[in-house]
Every structure is written in structure tokens, then in C-alpha cells.
Amino acid sequence: MAIESVAVIGAGQWGTALAQAVAIAGRRVTLIGRDSAALAEINRDHTNSKHLGPQRLSPMISASNRYSGADLIVLAVPAQASRAALEALGPVGEPVVLTAKGLEARTLLRQSEILAEAAPDAVPYVLSGPSFAVDVAAGRPTAVTLAGDDPAATAEIAAFLAGPTFRPYAASDRVGVELCGALKNIYALAAGAVEGARLGASARAGLIARAFAELGRILPALGGDAGTLMGLAGLGDLTLSCTSTQSRNYRYGVALGRGEAPPPELAEGVATAPVAQRLARGAGVDAPLIDAVNLLLTKTQSIERIVAGLMSRPLKRET
């Protein structure tokens, strides 16, 4: 596979950060977006102040409102917008790196399943792992997972994207990596709610451990490999999202735990939580934490009652 040109679809915070990572690796990249003012600023000033403040961007990044072809596409739009973005591109057969961490609310589909419907000739790859856009854009050390079905092609794309500060590790469990990325946002909502309700660091640590166990039941039931949990896309991303206020889902959860209005920003776990609940129930998997987050989001129960219910579940052996 010869890769010369890269197009990143989505000129928001994450798309701009990924374009910066590709540029730091020494590649020229075209950033595709809709905000004409932001695109002009990127080309003129090499900044995207709306999404990344004063962070300087590489001059190897050019911005455009139109996709005109590339050897590799990186899709960096919110999970619920992926289908529309793909349909806007028209028929594509290029490899597509999917970076959204969420399940489609209307169809219950993973991102690669959406790609298969919207662009059946495209080859899916999934990028996930512990990463914040501001760190990636600033060139801070970041390690992630790139999963694909063809080991050789996946390794080649990972090597192409890799730079001095951005390290993608190639993997084969595309389904498991997708599920980890989507579901960890739900657990981040829960961890934030525990923090917001001031239930203590012990409660949050226990929640993360039980979330890890819950993921271990869900992944194989939905077609993934439980072993993926031991890597960057699993334990790494779960830990980061459940402990840092840089996580939008964590911040959203903190507000819920405090009984406050959530911040007006995208939290992918909000749309994914009811989808995950339906998928888990359909697969016959016990997922009390996902159930608890849905109770919290629908305001069916208070955080105190939800925690009391979890603490009163029958005792059993840990493993």
C-alpha cells in the first residue's frame, strides 16, 4: 500500500489534533471542515483558536471545505455525525481510519458498521486509546491502538501515522477496540458522577475495577476479544477517561453527581449509554453499571439511590 496523501475529515478539536500528529510525523495533510472562518485561520495563521486556542499548527497542514481525494482518510467527526460525513464524501474506496468513540443511537451500529453501509468499498481501521486532543496537538507523548483486519496493512498505516510524539500500536481486534472506545465513555460518566457526589476516591477506584470486569463480559458477547482490555484501548483509555477532568464525559458526570446542569459540550457517552444497554441486554450480559448510568441520565433515580442499589447487590466471588 503506497500512502502519499492524507485527508482528515473534521476540523474540530480532535480532527485538528490528528492532522497535527500526522504533520509532526513529516506528512502533508489536508484538513476538511465546514467552518469557513476556522479553515481560513488554519491556512493563514496556522492556528485553530476556536478549538485549540493559541496552539501553533504545522505549515504542512492545509485546510479545505472540499474533499478531492487521498490515499488515506481519517474520519474525525462525532459518532452521531459519522454517517452524514461519509455520505457527503460520496463513494470512497480508500482506507478509512475511524476515530469516533460511540455507537449510533438510531441503528445501534459500531462505527465500522456505519462505514460498511455508507461506503462499502472502503477498508475500515479503528484508532482508539488514551489520548486528549490538546496533548496530541501540543506534541506530548501519546500512545494509541490502531486496529484493522489485515495485519500487514494495519502495521503499514500505523507506521505511516507514527511520529516522534504519536505512537500507534497495531492490533487485530477491530471490534473489541471499537467497543472499548465507545463503552469507556459510559463508565467515565459514572466515575464523574461519583466524584461529583463526593463519594470518595475509594468508590471511584472500585467503580473503575468493576467497569473493567463488566467490559470483560460485554466484549466477547458482542464479538470482541476480552484480551483487548489489557491494552491501550482498554485499560489505558478507561483509566484516563475515568480520572481526568479533561474528559468531557467525566466532566458531564461530575455535573450529574452534583445535581447541576451538564456543561454545553459533546459527551459521546450520553448517546451511547442507551445503545449499550440494549446491546448488553440483547446479548444476555449483566451490565449493572451501564444500567446505573442510564438511570442517572434519565433522572429515574438519584446518584445516592443508584449507589445504594449497586452496594446491595448479592455478594459473589470476584473472579
Percent of the chain, pLDDT > 90?
Answer: 92
pTM for the whole thing? 0.96
Element holding 258 (H helix, E strand):
helix 248-258
Instruction: Find the mean pLDDT for residues 101-124.
Output: 97
Q: Is 221 helix (H, G, I), strand (E, B) or coil?
A: helix
Residues 251-262 pLDDT 10s: 999 999 999 999
Active-site residue set: 184
Residue 2, pLDDT score? 82
Q: Do the domains 6-172 and 175-311 sit in the same CATH topology, yes or no?
A: no
Residue 301, pLDDT score? 85
The residue among 84, 102, 81, 8 whose CA lies nearest residue 48 is 8
Residues 31-68 pLDDT 10s: 999 999 999 999 999 999 999 999 999 999 999 999 99
Percent of the chain, pLDDT > 70?
Answer: 99
175-311: what fold? N-(1-d-carboxylethyl)-l-norvaline Dehydrogenase; domain 2 (1.10.1040)
Give the domain ranges of the chain: 6-172, 175-311
Q: Which CATH number fits domain 6-172: 3.40.50.970, 3.40.640.10, 3.40.50.720, 3.10.20.30?
A: 3.40.50.720
Residue 253, pLDDT score? 96
Largest CA distance in the chain: 62
DSSP β-ladder status, 29-32 and 95-98: unpaired
> Which cell numbers in the block locate residue 299?
433522572
CA of residue 74 relative to chain centroid, distance: 13
